[in-house]
Chains A and B, each alone.
Chain A
């Protein structure tokens, strides 16, 4: 794991509660908002299970700590998207909170119903970008969620030890978290 320069984190007193909201004007229309919200809730909960940080969705976009939207090409932050595949998304380090996904991608919730060869798993990318929002930079561990690349039609949503160690060094451990559950998950992954 690695961190952004200066090792920034959300600096509030524990327990940290971060709010998130979805842009009303910059969303995709072929996946329902309800389904998108379910996917993001699951992605946030994965991180919340390992650190004493909780996430709460709110409606007021401008005041949210984390602001999520889908954007095409140049969208004003100096990091234009590039169309199909290439860059899938980006998010900013603490305590910026901007979370942008490339609207040109074919975002998918599952690959049973979405047959495109260039479909990208929304939950995997959401989980990765939340890592950036929390303060993790890219990892060189291929199995880690924070590894920078993700193939089309692939899924990587379970945090690995590398991800957990990195984020817990920033925020401490969730008192309810045990490494045994993670190891069981990883063993299952390796056998697969």
Chain B
């Protein structure tokens, strides 16, 4: 809850339980890799879809299986965000995924001509 004060603006927010924040639940997928199946992984795939790393499957629903296509998406995500490229949901990757971020897609906006230039 936010308690704005009139002149000396001190804002206090009750954050004793931050598990309600968006994406915090993704931490349960830590260390998952290709071949694993974890309940709720489809939500993670929706996250990857939202930011341009994974297309919607033909059957319209994501599964909870960490398949080869998902591994490719994880690798693309790690490459794009300058993370160690492991293809697994390691701690660096999970930490990045639960971090707040901009809602603009990382890749969909670039079509087939995506080029990220590092300096």
Binding site for B on A (CB under 8 A): 1-6, 29-31, 79, 81-91, 93, 106, 108, 113-120, 125, 128-129, 132, 137-142, 147-152, 161-162, 165-166
Contacts and interface: CB of A to CB of B under 8 A. Distances in A.
B103 A88 contact: yes
B15 A2 contact: no
B72 to A, nearest CB: 17
Which of B18, B79, B102, B117 has the largest number of chain A CB atoms within 10 A?
B102
A129 B110 contact: no
Interface of B: 2, 4, 8-13, 15, 18, 20-23, 51, 79-82, 96, 99-104, 106, 109-111, 113-119
Nearest to A88: B100
Contacts of B110: 2-5, 137
A140 B100 contact: no
A87 B102 contact: yes
A148 B101 contact: yes
The 8 closest A-B pairs by CB, nearest first: A86-B22, A90-B103, A116-B13, A87-B103, A5-B111, A30-B4, A149-B101, A85-B21
Contact of B22 (A29, A85, A142): A85
A138 B118 contact: no
Contacts of A120: 100
Nearest to A117: B15
Contacts, number: 134
B10 to A, nearest CB: 5
Given A139-B116, A149-B96, A152-B100, A4 B11 contact: no
Given A84-B21, A120-B100, A113 B9 contact: yes
A28 to B, nearest CB: 10
Contacts of B82: 140-142
Given A148-B102, A149-B99, 19 more contacts: A2-B110, A2-B117, A30-B11, A85-B21, A87-B102, A88-B101, A88-B103, A113-B9, A114-B11, A115-B13, A116-B12, A116-B15, A118-B13, A129-B102, A132-B102, A138-B102, A141-B119, A148-B81, A150-B100
A137 B109 contact: yes
Contacts of A125: 102
B11 A149 contact: no
